[in-house]
Structure 1
Amino acid sequence: MTAFAYIAAAIAEIAGCFGFWAWLRLGRSVLWLAPAIASLCLFAALLSLAPVEQAGRAFAAYGGVYIVASLAWLWLVEGARPDRWDLAGGAICLVGAAVILWGPRSG
């Protein structure tokens, strides 16, 4: 469930932020804001499904997933292929997210 929640949250957040980007930076219609806001609300709801007790830990672990999803967006939506440094950085972030999420906790 964690992986699904984080991946779906990343897609929703990136899509929502892109709606604002398209309106502000690409000169698209203000109507782009309605689905952008809905997508950001969905993002927040999905992120709350993370099975950890502290919101900060859920947000920190999610950060690694968000970075990798952003690189996928860069490639699939914007048509710019990530380079080896993007991929290495994304892998490092995923390892960090895994440590935060599944590292052993005392008490």
Structure 2
Amino acid sequence: MMAILRSFALFLLAGLFEIGGGYLVWLWLKEDKPFWFGITGAVILALYGVVATWQTANFGRVYAAYGGIFIVMALIWAWKVDGFKPDRYDIIGALVALIGACIIVYAPRGH
């Protein structure tokens, strides 16, 4: 159980780095924020790549599962930071993606 909690925490940290870093780059290029927004965002995005390597599953599973977790986190970010209100189809789709992500990474496999 601790391994699953650690893995999920790493997914959340990676998501924060990817979304936060990407958001800073977005603000720099689309909202005319200072150049340092872009540089800071790029550094944070690089950290996202490092955090993802801390997972114990293989690359393909980690990145496939991360996609589902990223969908949920992106909708939460858009809701809390940008004022976007997800509708029921956003929520249903995000839950389907999250369930799929959990199956990919956490399903018991005979090794």
User: TM class, shorter-chain normalised?
Assistant: over 0.9
Distance 1:50 1:11 in 2: 16
Counterpart of 1:22? Answer: 27
Correspondence 1:94 to 2:98: yes
Correspondence 1:3 to 2:13: no
Misfit runs of 4+, over 3 Å: none
| Equivalent AA in structure 1 for residue 65 of structure 2 | A
- Calculate percent identity across the aligned residue pairs: 32
Distance 2:24 2:72 in 1: 19
1:64 to 23, 47, 68: 68
Residue range with higher mean Cα deviation, 89-98 or 23-32 = 23-32
Distance 1:48 1:86 in 2: 29
> How far does residue 13 in structure 1 lie from its aligned partner after superposition?
0.2
Distance 1:66 1:14 in 2: 8
Correspondence 1:35 to 2:40: yes
| Equivalent AA in structure 1 for residue 25 of structure 2 | F
Distance 1:106 1:6 in 2: 24
Correspondence 1:82 to 2:74: no
Q: Which runs of 5+ in 2 are unaligned?
A: 1-5
Counterpart of 1:48? Answer: 53
> How far does residue 90 in structure 1 lie from its aligned partner after superposition?
0.6
Counterpart of 1:13? Answer: 18
| Equivalent AA in structure 1 for residue 87 of structure 2 | D
Distance 1:42 1:81 in 2: 29
Distance 1:2 1:85 in 2: 27
Secondary structure of 2:27's partner? helix
What TM-score results when the alignment is normalised by the length of structure 2? 0.89
Q: Aligned pair count?
A: 106
Counterpart of 2:3? Answer: none
